[in-house]
């Protein structure tokens, strides 16, 4: 047990030296560490948001809203196909397709028309491009025949899953552009589970600004105003003729618009918040891409003298009362309202051919900035809600680091003094091992770039207290063997030997707890699990292997054959 | 050269721990029952991690002491239900807690915005935590699973390394520790949040660590003294390991005490749970784990091991 071959000696020293080198950059400032020679490691410990300050947000996609838009587009397809269906040159009579319980239901008036309608609707069935449920039902929709000449169309489970996956994939990108439009802040943005995104932004002073724009859907469309709207507005029937829709306006009564958009937000290339050159009011200027400019140019050319509407669709928002409280429905769920409205409806003075223009409404400068950012970042398929927020200001982070350091140093000094007092020279050996142990934990944290959190610091301090356990076990055993009359060397041998299985058992049980904690804990807590686990591994090495190495070295330095054990 | 250590614990103690096993077990059972009673009547003071809601830590910008009555007045008029306001560690640092607002995730953010508006520009925000209903439910579930999974995992480990009686004794000891920790949190109404779950799991690890050391010695002595009465053997094993048990508890407590006093307000709850856990864990490995072994009885004949192909024996 006390003999160390050359290669063992070399490995032990190598581990310690590499560990210390990896830990070394942390004693420098960040700048100094970065300017270290390239052959040296210069990674510092990666501080968690609770220590460096920043915002941790978890957003959840509104899957109901996503399903609704999916159903609506299927309904539009159903409508379109049935309109095209002619039997004996006549349109097939049917009810308006309705969305009920996640299905689209349409009633065909004559029983003999059901079969041809089914055939026509089956044209809508398409295989999904990527299906994780391959083999079972990998089409986009399912069409079945219900009672009373009803046809039921619904998206398949695979299609719903597929749609969510696509929406989430692009949402991560949209979030990135929104959080970090200039690519400067190094945020962490990643999907969690099937419908969530974690956004972590270091060093944010005011998360309110971030939160205002993150989960918003903003879809811009340019639509022509239907001239029939003026007559209908005064009349008794407000029902929109086919191909048109009523849209509320910010500047007056709802207007009748052609449902088909001339240009949509996807065809915007760039939007900027600026001020109108004449009136100086805040506006958003924009530029279309080539297809957008072409379409817009053509339509404005054909419609000079008529108004068109710029419609902003913010998706579904929860309704609030005059005090800003969320309004609840009968089931205690927040009442949702579609926030889609006309921002302005200018008259086309002349064809707009250059593909540039501006949107003016009664905006504040803040609103134009948000709108420009939202338009530039692209649109979310459905709105996302913040379900968890943990923001820490920079001052608290600094205080926590200082407090952790002070607690660590005082704890360390106390433990070192105690061990020195209890075990004398061998205690000194254990203390050297303890300090090396801390260096190794720091080195391991820097090397793996695991995140150090405040509970993580607590884990290190706790390790300081628990790491000496192995030495206590060994030394107590040695004392026992000496009492039993063994010689010094044989007592040390037996001490290490006998204690080894106990040390292993005792540490593995704590390691099990740390592993469970790592997998089930979130953020700061898994930071604790990481340092605890690292601490267990390094402490077994330092207090079992390294102290043995020091003691064997010390034994060889003794001149006399009868060594009195200093314990 | 002799630089000897100081023997803090007498070398060869001969304390008869198991004579007091009935009193100790009765005491432990009483405390467990009391803890369960407190937990089910008074209940835990769940933090926002498990109850949902909002926590805001603010500091006055001018460094003046915070005026709690004024703050209370301002914030209680916002219609946000129960608003708790308290100083946090220092006189210019205030912790504000809002209960979970009805109306889903959005309502929580609205409430936060209202408080920020009402507080105005006089404060810097040190910490803002908002946990919505979805996440708090999940955290509650995950926390429970974590503690149960950890207990189950160590049960399996001990069972693999020792006989089942040991496994049962060890788990009884650590369930005892976990329940008593929950009990003291119910009694003192300290905030029970995610970090306390972390503390519970660490206590599970620590308590077991202690128990395993005693059990290892029991197993060794079982082989050494084949004829010794089990009660005497258990007493002997506890005495053999007593100095280690106390020394390690002391160094761990030294580190924890330092954390408790200097580590800052945020982890104080966590450290408190750990300190309590270390004390209770040390007690339980002597006064719960060992007596249970005595009650269950253990297999004395270890001679057939190795040949019987049982891999339960180390070395």
**A463-488 per-position pLDDT tens digit:** 998 889 999 999 999 988 888 888 88
Using DSSP, state whether A93 is helix, strand or coil. coil
Upper half-sphere CA count for residue A129 (Cβ side, 13 Å): 3
- Name the residue facing B110 among A326, A480, A514 (closest C-beta): A326
A491 lies within 8 A of chain B by CB: no
Lowest mean pLDDT among A27-41, B149-163, B293-307: B293-307
The answer to whether A553 and A13 are in contact (CB under 8 A) is: no
Burial group, residue A224, by CB count within 10 angstroms (0-12, 13-18, 19+): buried
Segment 33-62 of chain A within 8 Å of chain B by CB: 58, 60
Question: Residue with structure tokens 């100086």?
Answer: A280
Residue of B nearest to A417 (CA): B251
What pLDDT score does A196 carry?
A: 95
A347 lies within 8 A of chain B by CB: no
Distance from CA of B276 to the nearest CA of A (A): 14
Q: Which helix (H) or strand (E) holds A145?
A: strand A141-145
Distance from CA of A453 to the nearest CA of B (A): 11
- Angle of helix A469-483 relative to helix A394-448, nearest 10 degrees, comes to 60
Q: In this structure, what DSSP letter does residue A546 have?
A: I
Using the beta-carbon criterion (under 8 Å), do B251 and A390 form an inter-chain contact?
Answer: no
- Name the residue facing B150 among A326, A411, A513 (closest C-beta): A513
The DSSP line for A179-239 is H-TTS-S--EEEEETTTEEEEEEET-S-HHHHHHHHT---EEEEEEBPTHHHHHHHSS--P
Per the structure block, which two tokens stand in for A408? 């660590």
Using DSSP, state whether B122 is helix, strand or coil. coil
Residue of A nearest to B160 (CA): A505
What pLDDT score does B89 carry?
A: 86
Upper half-sphere CA count for residue B85 (Cβ side, 13 Å): 21
Q: Phi/psi at B288 (nearest 5 deg)?
A: -115, -50
Instruction: Give the span between the Cα atoms of A67 and A223, in whole angstroms.
Output: 25
- Under the banding of pLDDT at 50, 70 and 90, the label for residue B248 is very high
What pLDDT score does A561 carry?
A: 63
What pLDDT score does A208 carry?
A: 82
Using DSSP, state whether A338 is helix, strand or coil. strand
Using the beta-carbon criterion (under 8 Å), do B128 and A516 form an inter-chain contact?
Answer: no
The DSSP line for B202-236 is HHHHHHHHHHHHHHHHHHHHHHH-TTS-HHHHHHH
> Which of B263, B271, B282, B312 is the best substitution to test chain A (most A C-beta atoms within 10 A)?
B263
For residue B311, pLDDT over 80 is answered with: no
Average pLDDT over residues B88-107: 90
Condensed to tens digits (0 to 9), the pLDDT of residues A277-315 reads 888 889 888 888 888 888 888 988 888 888 889 888 887
Using the beta-carbon criterion (under 8 Å), do B209 and A507 form an inter-chain contact?
Answer: yes
Per the structure block, which two tokens stand in for B298? 């253990």
What pLDDT score does A229 carry?
A: 81
Per the structure block, which two tokens stand in for A381? 């398929």
A–B CB contacts, 8 A cutoff, strictly below: 283
Using DSSP, state whether A325 is helix, strand or coil. coil
For residue A344, pLDDT over 60 is answered with: yes
The answer to whether A69 and A382 are in contact (CB under 8 A) is: yes
For residue A520, pLDDT over 80 is answered with: no
Residue of B nearest to A406 (CA): B262
Nearest to B110 by CA among B136, B85, B132: B132
Distance from CA of B36 to the nearest CA of A (A): 23
Average pLDDT over residues A55-75: 90
What pLDDT score does B147 carry?
A: 87
Provide the mean pLDDT of chain A.
86
Q: What percent of chain A has pLDDT over 70?
A: 94
Distance from CA of B230 to the nearest CA of A (A): 21
Residues facing residue A273 across a β-bridge: A284
Residues facing residue A200 across a β-bridge: A56, A188
Distance from CA of B275 to the nearest CA of A (A): 11
ipTM of this complex prediction, to 2 decimal places: 0.88
Upper half-sphere CA count for residue B18 (Cβ side, 13 Å): 18
The answer to whether A47 and A66 are in contact (CB under 8 A) is: no
Using the beta-carbon criterion (under 8 Å), do A403 and B263 form an inter-chain contact?
Answer: yes
**Cα–Cα distance list, A202 to A171, A392, A397 (Å):** 20, 9, 11
- Under the banding of pLDDT at 50, 70 and 90, the label for residue B315 is very low
Residue of B nearest to A331 (CA): B103
Condensed to tens digits (0 to 9), the pLDDT of residues A211-246 reads 877 877 778 888 999 888 877 776 656 778 878 888
Count of other CB atoms within 10 angstroms of residue A304: 11
What pLDDT score does A129 carry?
A: 65
Instruction: Give the span between the Cα atoms of A520 and B141, in whole angstroms.
Output: 10
Average pLDDT over residues A552-560: 82
Q: Could you tell me which residues come within 8 angstroms of residue A412 by beta carbon, excluding any fewer than 6 positions away?
A: A434, A435, A438, A464, B255
Instruction: Give the span between the Cα atoms of A168 and A162, in whole angstroms.
Output: 10
What pLDDT score does B314 carry?
A: 45
Instruction: Give the span between the Cα atoms of A210 and B123, in whole angstroms.
Output: 20
> Which of B205, B245, B277, B285 is the best substitution to test chain A (most A C-beta atoms within 10 A)?
B205
Nearest to A133 by CA among A155, A151, A100: A155
A564 lies within 8 A of chain B by CB: yes
For residue A345, pLDDT over 90 is answered with: no
Instruction: Give the span between the Cα atoms of A183 and A219, in whole angstroms.
Output: 24
Residue of A nearest to B48 (CA): A388
Q: Could you tell me which residues come within 8 angstroms of residue A476 by beta carbon, excluding any fewer than 6 positions away?
A: B241, B243, B244, B247
Q: In this structure, what DSSP letter does residue B312 have?
A: T
Count of other CB atoms within 10 angstroms of residue A61: 23
Using the beta-carbon criterion (under 8 Å), do A509 and B208 form an inter-chain contact?
Answer: yes
> Edge-to-edge strand order for the sheet containing A141-145?
A98-100, A103-107, A150-155, A141-145
For residue A560, pLDDT over 70 is answered with: no
For residue A134, pLDDT over 60 is answered with: no
Nearest to A200 by CA among A209, A208, A190, A192: A190
The answer to whether A529 and A517 are in contact (CB under 8 A) is: yes
For residue A25, pLDDT over 50 is answered with: yes
Condensed to tens digits (0 to 9), the pLDDT of residues B145-158 reads 888 988 888 888 88
Cα A318–Cα A319–Cα A325 angle in degrees, nearest 5? 100
Upper half-sphere CA count for residue B302 (Cβ side, 13 Å): 18
Distance from CA of A211 to the nearest CA of B (A): 9
Q: Which helix (H) or strand (E) holds B306?
A: none
Condensed to tens digits (0 to 9), the pLDDT of residues B5-51 reads 777 776 678 888 888 888 999 999 999 999 999 999 999 999 999 99
Q: In this structure, what DSSP letter does residue A111 have?
A: G
- Name the residue facing B209 among A318, A461, A506 (closest C-beta): A506
> Which of A505, A507, A514, A518 is the best substitution to test chain B (most B C-beta atoms within 10 A)?
A505
The answer to whether A41 and A22 are in contact (CB under 8 A) is: yes
Residues facing residue A244 across a β-bridge: A258
- Name the residue facing A400 among B139, B204, B266 (closest C-beta): B266
Per the structure block, which two tokens stand in for B286? 């002597």
What residues of chain A lie within 8 A of the CB of B243, using their CB? 476
Instruction: Give the span between the Cα atoms of A391 and B128, in whole angstroms.
Output: 5
Average pLDDT over residues A115-136: 76
- Name the residue facing B105 among A387, A513, A567 (closest C-beta): A387
Average pLDDT over residues A183-212: 85
Handedness of CA A514, A518, A521, A525 (dihedral sign): positive
Q: What percent of chain A has pLDDT over 90?
A: 27
Q: In this structure, what DSSP letter does residue A57 have?
A: E
Condensed to tens digits (0 to 9), the pLDDT of residues A493-517 reads 999 998 898 898 888 888 888 898 8
Q: Phi/psi at A314 (nearest 5 deg)?
A: -95, 15
The answer to whether A187 and A201 are in contact (CB under 8 A) is: yes
For residue B308, pLDDT over 90 is answered with: no
For residue A164, pLDDT over 90 is answered with: yes
Per the structure block, which two tokens stand in for A405? 């350091």
- Name the residue facing A403 among B204, B208, B264 (closest C-beta): B264
A150 lies within 8 A of chain B by CB: no
Pairing of strands A103-107, B83-88: unpaired
Condensed to tens digits (0 to 9), the pLDDT of residues B172-215 reads 998 999 999 999 999 999 999 988 988 998 888 888 888 889 99
Q: Phi/psi at A274 (nearest 5 deg)?
A: -150, -170
Residue, of A556 and A436, whose pLDDT is higher:
A436
Nearest to A379 by CA among A147, A497, A213: A213
A520 lies within 8 A of chain B by CB: yes
Provide the mean pLDDT of chain B.
88
- Name the residue facing B150 among A58, A391, A516 (closest C-beta): A516
Using the beta-carbon criterion (under 8 Å), do B135 and A388 form an inter-chain contact?
Answer: yes
Question: Residue with structure tokens 């089910």?
Answer: B40
Using the beta-carbon criterion (under 8 Å), do A396 and B57 form an inter-chain contact?
Answer: yes
Q: Could you tell me which residues come within 8 angstroms of residue A158 by beta carbon, excluding any fewer than 6 positions away?
A: A128, A131, A132, A133, A136, A137, A138, A139
For residue A179, pLDDT over 80 is answered with: yes
HEC assignment per residue over A378-415: CCCCCCEEEEEEEEECHHHHHHHHHHHHHHHHHHHHHH
For residue A365, pLDDT over 70 is answered with: yes
């Amino acid at each position: 047990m006390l003999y160390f071959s050359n290669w063992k000696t070399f490995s032990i020293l190598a581990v310690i030296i590499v560990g210390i080198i990896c830990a070394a950059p942390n004693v420098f400032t960040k700048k100094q560490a970065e300017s270290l020679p390239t052959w040296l490691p210069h990674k510092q410990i990666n501080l968690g948001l609770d220590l460096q300050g920043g915002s941790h947000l978890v957003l959840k996609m509104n899957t109901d809203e996503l399903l609704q838009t999916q159903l609506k587009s299927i309904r539009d397809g159903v409508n379109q196909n049935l309109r095209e269906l002619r039997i004996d040159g006549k349109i097939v009579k049917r009810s308006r397709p309705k969305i009920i319980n996640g299905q689209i239901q349409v009633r065909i008036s004559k029983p003999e028309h059901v079969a041809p309608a089914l055939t026509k609707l089956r044209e809508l069935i398409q295989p999904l491009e990527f299906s994780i449920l391959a083999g079972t039902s990998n089409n986009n929709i399912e069409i079945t025949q219900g009672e009373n000449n009803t046809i039921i169309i619904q998206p398949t489970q695979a299609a719903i899953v597929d749609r969510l996956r696509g929406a989430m994939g692009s949402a991560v990108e949209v979030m990135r552009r929104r959080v970090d439009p200039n690519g400067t802040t190094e945020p962490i943005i990643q999907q969690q589970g099937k419908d969530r995104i974690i956004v972590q932004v270091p060093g944010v002073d005011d998360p309110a600004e971030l939160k205002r724009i993150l989960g918003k859907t903003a879809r811009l469309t340019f639509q022509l105003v239907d001239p029939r709207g003026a007559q209908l507005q005064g009349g008794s029937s407000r029902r929109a003729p086919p191909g048109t829709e009523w849209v509320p306006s910010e500047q007056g009564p709802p207007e009748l618009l052609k449902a088909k958009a001339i240009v949509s937000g996807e065809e915007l290339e760039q939007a900027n918040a600026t001020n109108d050159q004449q009136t100086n009011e805040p506006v958003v200027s924009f530029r279309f891409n080539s297809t957008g400019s072409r379409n817009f140019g053509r339509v404005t050319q054909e419609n000079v003298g008529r108004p068109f509407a710029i419609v902003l669709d913010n998706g579904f928002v929860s309704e609030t009362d005059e005090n800003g409280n969320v309004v609840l429905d009968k089931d205690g769920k927040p009442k949702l309202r579609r926030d889609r409205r006309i921002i302005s409806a200018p008259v086309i003075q002349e064809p707009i051919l250059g593909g540039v223009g501006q949107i003016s409404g009664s905006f504040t400068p803040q609103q134009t900035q948000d709108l420009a950012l939202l338009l530039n970042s692209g649109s979310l398929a459905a709105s996302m809600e913040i379900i968890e927020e943990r923001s820490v200001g920079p001052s608290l982070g600094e205080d926590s680091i200082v407090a952790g350091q002070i607690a660590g140093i005082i704890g360390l000094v106390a433990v070192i003094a105690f061990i020195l007092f209890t075990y004398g020279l061998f205690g000194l050996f254990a203390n050297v091992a303890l300090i090396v142990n801390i260096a190794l934990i720091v080195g391991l944290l820097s090397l793996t770039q695991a995140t150090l959190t405040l509970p993580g610091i607590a884990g290190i301090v706790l390790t300081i207290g628990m790491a000496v356990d192995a030495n206590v076990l060994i030394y107590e055993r040695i004392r026992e063997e000496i009492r039993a009359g063994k010689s010094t060397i044989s007592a040390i041998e037996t001490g290490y030997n006998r204690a080894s299985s106990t040390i292993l058992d005792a540490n593995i049980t704590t390691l099990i707890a740390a592993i469970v904690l790592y997998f089930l804990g979130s953020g700061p807590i898994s930071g604790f699990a990481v340092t605890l686990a690292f601490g267990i591994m390094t402490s077994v090495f330092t207090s079992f292997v390294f102290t043995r190495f020091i003691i064997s070295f010390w034994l060889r330095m003794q001149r006399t054959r009868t060594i009195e054990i200093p314990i | 050269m002799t630089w000897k250590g100081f023997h803090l614990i007498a070398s060869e103690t001969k304390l008869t721990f198991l004579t007091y096993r009935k009193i100790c077990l009765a005491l432990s059972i009483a405390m467990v029952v009391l803890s369960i009673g407190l937990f089910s009547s008074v209940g835990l003071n769940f933090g926002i991690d498990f109850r949902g809601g909002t926590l805001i830590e603010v500091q006055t910008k001018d460094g003046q002491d915070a005026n709690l009555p004024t703050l209370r007045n301002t914030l209680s008029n916002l219609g946000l239900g129960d608003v708790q306001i308290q100083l946090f560690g220092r006189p210019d640092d205030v912790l504000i807690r809002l209960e979970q607002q009805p109306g889903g995730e959005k309502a929580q953010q609205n409430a936060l915005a209202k408080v920020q508006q009402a507080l105005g520009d006089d404060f810097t925000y040190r910490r803002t935590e908002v946990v919505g209903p979805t996440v708090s439910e999940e955290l509650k579930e995950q926390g429970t699973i974590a503690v149960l999974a950890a207990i189950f995992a160590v049960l399996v480990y001990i069972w693999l390394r020792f006989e089942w009686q040991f496994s049962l004794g060890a788990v009884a000891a650590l369930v005892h520790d976990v329940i008593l920790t929950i009990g003291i949190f119910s009694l003192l109404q300290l905030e029970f949040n995610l970090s306390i779950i972390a503390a519970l799991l660490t206590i599970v690890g620590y308590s077991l660590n202690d128990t395993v050391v005693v059990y290892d010695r029991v197993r060794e002595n079982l082989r050494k003294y084949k004829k010794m009465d089990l009660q005497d053997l258990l007493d002997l094993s506890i005495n053999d390991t007593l100095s280690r048990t106390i020394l390690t508890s002391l160094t761990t407590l030294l580190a924890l005490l330092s954390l408790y006093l200097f580590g800052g307000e945020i982890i104080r709850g966590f450290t408190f749970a750990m300190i309590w856990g270390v004390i209770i864990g040390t007690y339980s490995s002597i006064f719960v784990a060992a007596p249970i072994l005595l009650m269950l009885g253990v297999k004395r004949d270890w001679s057939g091991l190795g040949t019987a192909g049982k891999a339960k024996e180390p070395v």
